[in-house]
Amino acid sequence: MRNLAVSTTRVSAIQAEDVTQLSSPTSEGASAVLSAIAFDVDRDALFAATESGCQCRRYPGLENIGKGFSSCGWSFVCLLRLVFHSEPSYSKSQGAFRVESTGYNICVLLQRRSQGDVEVQGTVEPGIAAAAWSPDDSLLTLVTGALRPSLFHRSLTCFHGSIQRQTHDSDAPINVGWGSKETQMKISTTRIDHALPGVEMVHYFAVSTRSSQPPSRRVIRVYSHEGRLQSTSEAVPGLEASAAWRPNGGLIASTQNEVRLGPQDARKSGKHDVVFFERNGLRHGEFSLRRPPEADGSHYKIKDLIWSSDSAVLAVWIEKLNGDIVQLWTTGNYHWYLKQEFQAPDATHFTSVAWHPEVALQLVMATPSQLIIRTFAWETCAVSSMSSVTVNSSVLSTDQVLLTPFRTQNVPPPMSSSSSSNQRTPHTQTPVHVSLSPSNDLLAIIWQRGCVAVWSLRTRIGPGKGKVMNPLLIWTTNLGDGDGLKLWRQVTVSRLAEDEKSMMRVTVLGSGEGGIDQANIHEIRFDPASEQKPESEESWIIKMPGSDGRLVSSYDYLPPFWQAFDGEIFEDSRLFVGLAHLGKLSCVTPGSTSALLASNANSFAVASGFVVSTTTAHEAQFAPVAMLVQHLESLVDSEGAALALDAGTGPAQLSSDSWEKRRVERGSRIVTVVPSTMSLVLQMPRGNLETINPRPLVMEVVKNDLDSGRWKTAFLSCRKHRIDLSIIVQHNQDAFMDGVSVFIDQVQDVDYINLFLTNIGRSQLSQKTIADVCDAVRHELEIRDLAKYVNSILTAYVVKSPPDHEAGLAMLLRLRDSQPDLVEDAVKYIIFLVDADKLFDTALGMYDFSLVLMVAQYAQKDPREYLPFLRELRALPQFYQRFKIDDHLRRYAKALSNLHHAGPNYFQEALEYLEHHQLYDEGLAIWQDSEQHQAVLNAYGSWLFDRRDYKQAALVFAEASDFRKAMIAHERALEWQELFELSTKENIPQEEVKEIAYRITEELLSKKRFPEAARVFVDYAGDIRQAAIALVQGNEFSEARRIVSLYAKPELLEDVILPGAFDIRSQLADDLAEIRDHLHKQVARLAELRLKKAEEPDAFYGTEDANLHNVDVMTDVSMAPSMFTRYTVAASATSKASNSKTKRKMERKVGSGRKGTVDEEEYLLKSVCKLVTRCTAARVEVKKLLPHLLQLSKEHRAEGTALQQEFGAFDQELRKAVEEIWTKPGGAEEPTPVDSWMTRMQEREKERLIDPIERVPKPEMEAVEWGLKLL
C-alpha cells in the first residue's frame, strides 16, 4: 500500500572544460559525453567518465571537488564500466579507478591532488565482452571475447583464468525416474554464443549465454566464486542477455521478449516479461512490462536491469529511438507494481543508470550531457482525519490508481475497490504523485510532464447496491515542463466552502531553473448548483526559499505548508511528527526542541488524538498528542532545553512506559487509521492487509460518546470490542448517576441492561459504587415497568456486593400476589443467576415454606432430600422452628435469639447452645435484665477461667457475685491487692488469709517481684524474716534495713542483711565476668571477619562461578554453598513441604548467626548491643548496692571498693570496644553500579551487601554518675 515518491532531484550539466582529458584534447566546441559513473562511498563522491576523460563530482550537492588525471594514448569510446577503489597502498587523498573496456586493456587511473598517472594492469587478448565486480569489490569477473569467464582478485591478479566448460552441474536436479518426459530436467553440453552476455555477481556469478542445442536459446549458468559450474537453467524462448542478481541473493532477474505461441503460429504474444530464476536454475515467477506506446515493438529494447541495494526496487532501463525510459518496479503480495517512470530529457538516451550502493533509494542516471540524481521515499497515500467522511487509500500500479475506502471495505492488494483505469485519464504514463484530500472525497494526480487532474471519488458510505466508489474527473490542467527544466514531484488538494460557493485549492510543488522550489496554487470555484462544474479559476506561483522541500498536509488546517530539505517547517503552529529513514520518530512544536518518540519506528499515523506508530520490535505504540504537546511546551519554558539546543545535542527520547502498546505481527506497517470505526489497518510484509481495533482508539471514541451523552453508542462499542462496561460508570460517575434515566431510555433492551449490571457487579469498582449504581438502575426500572424489567431488577439485587438475595425473593413474593404469570420465568431466571442450593437456603431463612417449595420445584431438587426435613420443621412451634432453621443455616446468633423467644422452658438448652458456640456476648445482651443473666455470667466466667484469662474471669465472677471464684481468679492472676480486699469483704478467717498469703508470695518470688512479696509477708503473714529475705534477694537493702529497724529485729541484720550483701556482690561480679568474656569473643571474631572481608571479598560474599549459570539440572547430593544458597534456607528439591513448625524453626536459624554464614557479622553486632543493655542493667544494681557496702562493715567497704573498680574498668573497656566496632574504615568506596543484567539481579540482595554497621544502630551508653566518691 506504499507508493514511491520523489524526494529530491539534482541535475548537473557536464561541460567540456570540466573534464580532465585522458587523450588528446577535444576539438574546440566538442561536448563531453558521459559514458560511465562510479561511487566513492568513503569520501561521499561520485565519479563520472566521458568518452575523452574523467571528472569527480560530490553528491548530493554535486559540487566539483577535483580534477587531475594524466592523458593516455587511447579513447574510451567503448568504455563499459568505471569502478572506484580506495586501495590500502594509496594515501587517504588518493584512490584508483578500474576501467574495463570492450578493447583489450584493463587500466588503473590514480587520482591525486596533482596530475595522476595511468597504469595498464593487463591485456586481454580476445577482448572484454562483459565484467562485474562482487558487492564487496573483492573479486572481478570478466567474460572475454572468446566468451570464457575469468576471475580476478582485487589487485587484478587472475586466480581462475578461462574457466572451462562443464557438462554436469554440481547443483543440477537429478532425474529419479518418475514423471513425464516434459517434466524432466535435461543436462547437456552448452555452447556460449557470440551474443554479448550479461554478468552479475554475489557469492556466485551468473552468465547468460545461448544453449548449444538447436534451436539456439539462451540459458543462465551459475558459477561459484571458485569458478565451478553450479547450475544451468532451462533454455527459455526469447530470453534476453540482461541479468541482474538480487542483492539479497534470492533471485536472478532477466527479460523475455515476445515469442510465438506455437510452431505453426505466426502471431506473437505481445508480451515483454521480466522473468526470475532461482540459483538452482528453476523458474520463479515473472511479470509483464508496460509496453511503450509504439505499435512496433522493434523500436525499443531492454538495455539493463538494476536492483536497489535493499532489493526493494527493480529499475528497468528501456532504450528507445525517441528517448530512453527508466521504470521502477516494486512487489507486494506476489504482484509487481510500476511505481515510477522517467523519460530521458530532450528525447536523449541514458548512458548509465545505477543505484547508490548504500543509500537504498537513490538512483543516478547519466545522459550524454547531464547527471540526474533522484532520491525516493516510501509514502502511504491515505487519510485518517476525523473530519473526513471516508477514509481512503490509493496505490500506484502502472497507469492505474487503485482506490479502497477502508471505512467500508478492506480489499487486499493487488485488488482494490476501484481504479482510475476505467476513467478518462489525461495521460498514459505512470503518475509522479497522487494525493487524497484530508477533509473531502477528492483525489489529485500529477504526471511528469506537468499534467494535473482532480477526481471526485463519490464514495458510498452506507449499504446499498452499485459501486462503492464512482470517480468523476472534475478538473484538469497542464502546467508543462518548461522544455524539461521544471520537475514536478508533489500535489495536494483540499476543498472548503466560502460564502455560498464551493472552492477547491490545488497546490503543485516542483523545481524550476536553479533547482529552487516553487508552488503553483490553483483555486477553482464551482457552481453551487453543481459542484462538479468549474465556474472560475485563479492561480499564482510562490517561490520557496530553498530546494528539495515537500508539502505537508494537515487534517484540520486546509492550506498545506512547505518543509525544507533540512527539516525546517515554515509554519508557526501545530504539532509536527516526522519519521526519518533510520527509524527515528520525532515530534516538535514551534519554538521547542524536538523529542524522540521511538528510535526503531517503521511507520506512523496521527489520528484520534494519538500518534500511532509501529516499531521493528513488532509493537504498535499509541502516544497521546495532548501529552506530547504538554511535554514540548514545558521544554520551551525550561532553561535545560535551551542549553541542549545550543549544545547541539540530539533529541532526548520520551519515556513510553505510560503509553499503551499492543503486539502486532512481525514487520507490520500502518496503512491508515479509521477513527470512525476505531480501526487500524496494517499491511504485512507479504502484502496482505489486516484490520485491528486497538483499545486506545476504541476508548477514545467511547469517551467522546460518553461525554456527548450517547450512552447506547458507547455501550455497543464496548460490547463489540469486549471493553469492560464499567468504563461507562468509571469515566464520569456523577454524570452517569444523573443520567440513569437517559441511559435506560437509550439502551432499553432487557438483555443489554442485564449485561451492563453483570459487568458492574464483577468490576473493580468499590462496593459502595456498585451498590449505588445497582440501586439507581433498579429504582428507575421499578418506576418504568416492573413486569418488563423484572429480570433486570433481579440482576440488580444479585450482583450487588454483598448480594441481596432476600430482597430478590421478597420481590418474587410480591409478584406472586400481583402478577402470578411472571413468577415462573422470574424464578427460573434468578435460579440461573444464583446457585440453587444457596437460593434454597435463602428462601428457607425467610421462614416461608411456600417460597422454599417454589424454589426447590423450579431448581429440580429431589423431593426426597428436602420434604422430610420440611415436614419435621412444620411440626415444631414457631420460634423453636425458626431456631432449628437458623441452626441448620449456621446462623447461630439468630438461632439463639429465636430460642430465647421460644420461652423459659428452653433456657437450659439455650445455655448449652451458648456454651457450645461461645455466644457469650450475644447471650449477655439477650438476657440482660432477666433472672438468667447471672447464670450466663457464671458460664462466661468459667469459660474465661479455663482459657487462663484470670483477670477477665475475676471481673465476670465479681459481676455475678460469686466472690469465692473471683478470689481464686485474682490469686491466679497475682492480683494480691484485689484478692485481700475480697477476703476482707467475705470475712475470711485469719489462718486462711495467712495460708493464702504464703501461697501467693511463693508465686510472686518466682516472678522476681520481691518488693511485692515482702509487702504481703509483712501485712498479711506477719513474717518479718521472710520479708527481709525477699528484699535482700531483690537488692532492696534500704527497704530491708527499714523493716528490721521498724519492727526491732536486730538479729536479722546479722543473719540476713550482712550475708545477703556479700551474696549480691558476688553475683554482680559473676555477671560482669560473663559479660566481659562474651565481649572479648565477639570483638575477636568481628576483627577476624572484617580482615577476611577486606582480603578476600569474593570468598566472603560468595561470588558465583560464571560457568555455573548454564547448569540446568542439579542433583540432590550435598554441594558447597554458592552465592545464593548462603542467603537462603530453602529445603532441597526432594524434601517435603514444611509445616508451620518447620518454618518457624527456619526463621530462627536465619538470625542464629551460625559461623560461616553471611549473617554472622550482623549477629555479632546485635550481640554486642545486648551486652551493652546487660551492662546498663548491672550498673543500676551496682549503684543500689554500693551505699550499703560502704556502711555495713569494713569488709563490706573493701568489697564495695573492689566492685566499683571492677565495674569502672569494664565500663571503659566496653565504651572503647563500641567505638572501635562502629567506626567505618576510612576511604571505603561504594561499588559503582553498572547497568547490567547481573546488577539488576543483585538489587534484591543489596541489603545483604550493605555493611552491617549501617543496619545495626550503634548502642548509646549514657554517662551517668553511678559510683561513690567515698570508695
pLDDT at 291: 61
545 or 159, which is more confident:
545
Give 75-119 pLDDT, tens digit per residue.
333 344 455 444 444 333 344 445 555 455 566 655 544 444 556
CA distance 451 to 1158: 83
Query: CB-based contacts of 1123: which residues, under 8 Å, 6+ apart?
Result: 1101, 1102, 1103, 1104
pLDDT at 566: 56
772 or 195, which is more confident:
772
Please give the torsion angle defined by the CA atoms of residues 235, 241, 246 and 250, in that order, rounded to the nearest 10 degrees. 10
CB 1261 within 8 A of CB 1217: no
CA distance 1015 to 1026: 10
275: confidence class by pLDDT, cuts 50, 70, 90: very high
Residue-level length of the chain: 1271
- Judge whether residue 1152 has pLDDT over 90: no
CA distance 63 to 41: 16
CB 85 within 8 A of CB 98: yes
Q: Is 443 helix (H, G, I), strand (E, B) or coil?
A: strand
Grid cell locating 1258: 550503634
CA distance 768 to 756: 17
**Mean pLDDT calculated for residue range 921-943:** 85
Grid cell locating 306: 538494476
Q: How many CA atoms lie within 13 A of 927 on its CB side?
A: 26
CB 578 within 8 A of CB 567: yes
Farthest CA pair distance, the chain: 154
CA distance 789 to 809: 15
pLDDT at 475: 86
- Judge whether residue 1249 has pLDDT over 80: no
- Judge whether residue 1138 has pLDDT over 60: no
CA distance 671 to 625: 19
**Mean pLDDT calculated for residue range 1166-1175:** 84
Instruction: Work out whether strand 501-511 and strand 585-588 pair parallel, antiparallel, or are unpaired.
Output: unpaired
- Judge whether residue 698 has pLDDT over 50: yes
Q: Average the pLDDT over each of 378-392, 634-648, 693-707, 1101-1115 and give the range with the smallest value.
A: 1101-1115
CA distance 680 to 671: 8
Please give the torsion angle defined by the CA atoms of residues 1242, 1246, 1252 and 1257, in that order, rounded to the nearest 10 degrees. -170
Q: Average the pLDDT over each of 84-98, 228-242, 760-774, 1146-1160 and give the range with the smallest value.
A: 84-98
**Mean pLDDT calculated for residue range 183-188:** 35
- Judge whether residue 862 has pLDDT over 90: no
Q: Which segments of 973-1057 does DSSP mark as H helices, in order?
A: 976-985, 990-1006, 1010-1016, 1024-1033, 1037-1046, 1051-1052
Grid cell locating 808: 430478590
Query: CB-based contacts of 726: which residues, under 8 Å, 6+ apart?
Result: 759, 760, 763, 764, 765
User: What are the φ/ψ torsions at residue 491 (nearest 5 degrees)?
Assistant: -140, 145
Surface-to-core class of residue 259, CB atoms within 10 Å of its CB (0-12 exposed, 13-18 middle, 19+ buried): middle
CB 422 within 8 A of CB 402: no
**% of the chain at pLDDT higher than 90:** 11
**Mean pLDDT calculated for residue range 1031-1057:** 82
**Mean pLDDT calculated for residue range 189-215:** 58
Q: Report which listed range, 1023-1037, 1114-1128, 1148-1162, is most confident.
A: 1023-1037
pLDDT at 749: 92
Q: How many CA atoms lie within 13 A of 20 on its CB side?
A: 25
pLDDT at 819: 81
143: confidence class by pLDDT, cuts 50, 70, 90: confident
Going from the C-alpha of 650 to that of each of 184, 626, 645, 940, 941, the distances in angstroms are: 62, 23, 8, 79, 80
- Work out the number of other CB atoms within 10 angstroms of the CB of residue 939: 18
Grid cell locating 69: 588525471
- Three-state secondary structure readout of 1238-1263: HHHHHHHHHHHHCCHHHHCCCCCCCC
The closest of 341, 346, 510, 345 to 429, measured between CA atoms, is: 341
Q: Average the pLDDT over each of 81-95, 216-230, 384-398 and give the range with the smallest value.
A: 81-95
Query: CB-based contacts of 582: which residues, under 8 Å, 6+ apart?
Result: none
pLDDT at 1248: 52
912 or 69, which is more confident:
912
| Cis amide leading into 345 (omega within 30) | no
Please give the DSSP secondary-structure letter assigned to residue 311.
Answer: S
pLDDT at 1010: 84
**Mean pLDDT calculated for residue range 408-414:** 79
Q: Report which listed range, 618-627, 898-907, 936-945, is most confident.
A: 618-627
Reported for 1008-1016, long-range contacts at CB under 8 A and 24+ positions apart, including other chains, are: 1008/1034, 1009/974, 1010/1034, 1010/1036, 1011/1036, 1011/1039, 1012/976, 1014/1039, 1014/1040, 1014/1043, 1016/976
Q: Is 598 helix (H, G, I), strand (E, B) or coil?
A: strand
Report the sign of the C-alpha dihedral through residues 944, 947, 952, 953, in that order.
Answer: positive
Q: Is 590 helix (H, G, I), strand (E, B) or coil?
A: coil
pLDDT at 759: 93
Report the sign of the C-alpha dihedral through residues 600, 602, 606, 608, in that order.
Answer: negative
- Work out the number of other CB atoms within 10 angstroms of the CB of residue 574: 17
Reported for 122-128, long-range contacts at CB under 8 A and 24+ positions apart, including other chains, are: 122/156, 127/102, 127/103, 128/80, 128/100, 128/101, 128/102, 128/103, 128/104
pLDDT at 39: 81
Instruction: Work out whether strand 669-674 and strand 679-683 pair parallel, antiparallel, or are unpaired.
Output: antiparallel
Give 756-772 pLDDT, tens digit per residue.
999 999 999 999 999 99
pLDDT at 1106: 45
**Mean pLDDT calculated for residue range 309-336:** 89
Grid cell locating 1187: 551505699
pLDDT at 1257: 64
pLDDT at 716: 94
- Judge whether residue 901 has pLDDT over 70: yes
Q: Average the pLDDT over each of 265-274, 808-817, 1070-1079, 1158-1167 and give the range with the smallest value.
A: 265-274
Tally helices (H) and strands (E) across the chain.
36, 53
Query: CB-based contacts of 311: which residues, under 8 Å, 6+ apart?
Result: 246, 247, 248, 250
CA distance 651 to 578: 13
Give 3-16 pLDDT, tens digit per residue.
888 888 888 876 65
Q: Average the pLDDT over each of 777-791, 902-916, 1155-1169 and give the range with the smallest value.
A: 1155-1169
780: confidence class by pLDDT, cuts 50, 70, 90: very high
CB 1142 within 8 A of CB 1136: no
Give 430-473 pLDDT, tens digit per residue.
888 888 887 778 888 888 888 888 888 888 877 777 788 888 88
Grid cell locating 509: 510543488
- Mean pLDDT, the chain, integer: 75
262: confidence class by pLDDT, cuts 50, 70, 90: low
1220 or 60, which is more confident:
1220
pLDDT at 422: 42
pLDDT at 1114: 42
pLDDT at 774: 93
**% of the chain at pLDDT higher than 70:** 72
- Work out the number of other CB atoms within 10 angstroms of the CB of residue 864: 7
868: confidence class by pLDDT, cuts 50, 70, 90: confident
**Mean pLDDT calculated for residue range 849-876:** 84
Q: If you write DSSP's letter for every residue of 1094-1137 in order, what string do you get?
A: HH-HHHHHTPPPGGGGG-----SS-----TTTTT--PPPTTSPP
Find where cell 538494476 sits.
306
pLDDT at 725: 93
